[in-house]
Amino acid sequence: MKMSTKKLQWLMFGWFFLFPFLPVPGYWITIGNYIGLYSIVALGLVLLTGIGGLTSFGQAAFVGLGAYTTAYLSTTLGWSPWVGLGAGLVVSGLAAGLIGSITVRLSGHFLPLATIAWGLSLYYLFGTLEFLGKYDGLSGIPPLSLFGLDLSSPRVMYGMIWFCLGGCLWLVLNLLNSRPGRAIRALAKGRTMPEAMGINTAQYKILIFVLAALMASLSGWLYAHLQRSVSATPFGLNMGIEYLFMAVVGGVGHVWGAILGAVVMTGLKSQLQDWLPLLLGSNGNFEIVVFGVMIVLLLLWSRDGLWPWVAAVWAKFHPPEPEVVAPAIAPDGYGDMKRRAKPEPGALILEVNEARKQFGGLVAVKDMTFEIKAGEVVGLIGPNGAGKSTMFNLVTGVLPASSGEIRFGGERIDQLDSRRIVQMGIGRSFQHVHLIPHLSVLENVAMGAHLRGKSSPLSAALRTDRHEEAQLLFLAAEQIRRVGLGDYMHTPAGSLALGQQRILEIARALCTDPTLLLLDEPAAGLRLKEKEALASLIRQLKGEGMSVLLVEHDMDFVMGLTDRLVVMEFGSKIAEGLPVEIQNNEAVLAAYLGGIE
């Protein structure tokens, strides 16, 4: 449940800040420093894995890039560590951008595999290069200093490290709670839904990979100036794996889980390294056995890590409040938001002309021709396997047409991708609902408003997007009220009934400001009452001047609702006309009831 446990979080965090001022032993400070360093890396992994659905075992290599860059610049060249920070970030960012852009088009498991190979290769490189001191590494790295303040003591570095972690947390939390943040959350749902909202999935995937690498690089920079020397070992593949384990143990879907995971793993590791050699009677990094077994067990029992458990205990005492709230009145400039001009009622908006789709030898859509005029509700019906879904995919740009033409508002769209098509004003829903279940109805619907804003990830992270964000949320809230889900604004989308989820998807599609709405089997699996609610919503939208194409199997549902019906069988149009005509059409009767001679 995406509800606020903010108090607990910042309480926990504040406690860590006080830590060095207490008379604690130096060893604890060292552990605290490592927890901070690891948390920064794990935070990047939460963004990448838990929220974006990608993963990397190579984060240690990015830590290494950050550490070695500053180490080399500040020792051999004698440059300021602050130059080293910038250079490290640039190097890691470029490397991540390159790897990301290569793997982003491949299926999800190629990225982690690539990061394993890449992590190993960089590790060997660190250990081989003459100017990086081979396996001995570089030493004599100067301490950090800030406005003349010397940061060489571990206690002072503690403040620096946790300040950086706090900054990263703040930026990541801001980013997630924004237009680009919603786009990132949508990535975990595959490609079709976000693209249909106009989200460039490839770009956002590369973005989070780069962001995770930048955080790792920052951690490496801090590490180098804390440790004052670097060598290849802490940047090997094993450490890369341990970073991922931290994120998974803490709760890979939760920003605060990164810190929790780093605390648990670092504490456990230091204890195990003390005890295991005594127990087993020989030296070695036996703690990896415990880590490995722990991860397997954890994934068996709870894929979500430890954080939700902590949050649930806290929530018992402090009932959560919604985190994302739409403004109650329209924000300034809301009325000036760009809206598409409505076509004249009766004007031709969608023309499908001889559209054909062939998969190998199979012709799924055979030269279909039909049209939709502005303000019309048209039903595309036919028995199962008639090619309706393929036809739907051609219009929404999920598939390109093999031949023929599809025009929307006079422009050819048959070869455009879905991201381009939604920009032109075709909104859609999905037969199998594509929602982020733990996000609220408001946040889910606001995903549809992606194209209505422009704010960049940077402005989101720095909160300079708040005015636009308020507009987008108000827009989303208006659509939610428009479809009648106003009472469920802050309910997690996953807890709605199927009928309400379908309606939520319509609200999300309405956020894209469409002139044509395409609904894919919206009545499938709905109860009678839910069907009635859906039908009355569609009538209301028609009353507001919306054009709708309903792809349906259920004839009962479309009969009273549509102006016109197009009937498909075996990929071809077998009839078209008013619902009454279709009901008595012999060919349609045969197609639906069938019969054999």
Judged by CB under 8 A, which of 33, 55, 459, 515 binds other proteins? 55
Q: Is the CB of 459 or the CB of 562 nearer to other proteins?
A: 562
Instruction: Examine residue 278 and tell whether it contacts other proteins (CB under 8 A).
Output: no
Phi and psi at 436, nearest 5°, equal -95, 105
CA 103, distance to chain mean position in Å, is 17
Question: Per CB under 8 A, which region of 215-223, 283-291, 339-347, 533-541 contacts other proteins?
Answer: 283-291
Residues 454-493, interacting with other proteins (CB under 8 A):
none
356/526 Cα distance (integer angstroms) = 31
Extract the runs of DSSP E, i.e. beta strands, from 55-195: 138-139, 145-146, 149-150
Distance CA 379, CA 388 (A): 11
Quick one: which of 53, 97, 143, 322 contacts other proteins (CB under 8 A)?
53
Residue 279 touches other proteins, criterion: CB under 8 A: no
- N-terminal to C-terminal alpha carbon distance within the chain: 57
Q: Which of 165, 244, 374, 472 binds other proteins (CB under 8 A)?
A: 244
CB of 369 to other proteins, least distance (A): 22
50 versus 343: smaller Cβ distance to other proteins: 50
Residue 97: other Cβ atoms inside 10 A: 15
Q: How far apart are CA 500 and CA 581, in angstroms?
A: 32
Burial class (CB in 10 A: 0-12, 13-18, 19+), 39: buried
- Asked if 13 touches other proteins (CB under 8 A), the answer is no
E-strand stretches of 374-412: 377-381, 403-408, 411-412
Q: Residue 396 contacts by C-beta under 8 Å, 6 or more apart in sequence?
A: 196, 418, 421, 426, 428, 518
Q: Which CB, 31 or 524, lies closer to other proteins?
A: 524
Assess 128 for contact with other proteins (CB under 8 A). yes
Q: Which of residues 88-127 bind other proteins (CB under 8 A)?
A: 98-99, 102-110, 112-114, 116-118, 120-121, 124-125
Site for other proteins in 184-203 (CB under 8 A): 190-192, 201-202
Taking contact as CB under 8 A, which single stretch among the options 84-92, 208-216, 290-298, 466-474 is the one that binds other proteins? 290-298
Residue 578 touches other proteins, criterion: CB under 8 A: no
Q: Which of 14, 26, 167, 284 binds other proteins (CB under 8 A)?
A: 284
SS3 string, 437-496, reads CCCEHHHHHHHHHHHHCCCCHHHHHCCCCHHHHHHHHHHHHHHHHHCCCHHHCCCEHHHC
Cβ count within 10 A of residue 486: 12
Q: How far is the CB of 23 from other proteins (least distance, A)?
A: 37
Site for other proteins in 344-363 (CB under 8 A): 362
Backbone φ and ψ of 483, nearest 5°: -90, 0
Residue closer to other proteins, measured from CB, 134 or 340: 134
Judged by CB under 8 A, how many residues of this single chain contact other proteins?
A: 81
Q: Under a CB-based contact definition with an 8 Å cutoff, are residues 280 and 299 in contact? A: no
Considering the rule CB under 8 A, would residue 303 count as an interface residue with other proteins?
Answer: yes
139 binds other proteins (CB under 8 A): no
* Residue number with CB closer to other proteins (293 or 462): 293
CA 295 to chain centroid, in Å, comes to 24
Based on the shown chain and the rule CB under 8 A, indicate whether residue 555 belongs to the binding site for other proteins.
yes
Which one of residues 328, 339, 384, 543 is an interface residue with other proteins (CB under 8 A)? Answer: 384
CB atoms within 10 A of CB 522: 27
Question: Quick one: 449 or 523, whose CB is closer to other proteins?
Answer: 523
How many whole angstroms separate alpha carbon 151 and alpha carbon 463? 30
- Shorter beta-carbon distance to other proteins: residue 53 or 320: 53
Q: Per CB under 8 A, does 292 bind other proteins?
A: yes
The reply on whether position 287 binds other proteins by CB under 8 A is yes
Q: 356 burial class (0-12, 13-18, 19+ CB within 10 angstroms)?
A: middle
Residues in 517-546 that interact with other proteins by CB under 8 A: 521, 524-528
Closest to other proteins by CB, 102 vs 146, is 102
Nearest CB to other proteins, comparing residues 149 and 593? 593
Q: Does 234 bind other proteins (CB under 8 A)?
A: no
| 90 vs 288 by CB, closer to other proteins | 288
Asked if 243 and 45 touch (Cβ cutoff 8 Å), the reply is yes
Which C-beta is closer to other proteins: that of 341 or that of 528?
528
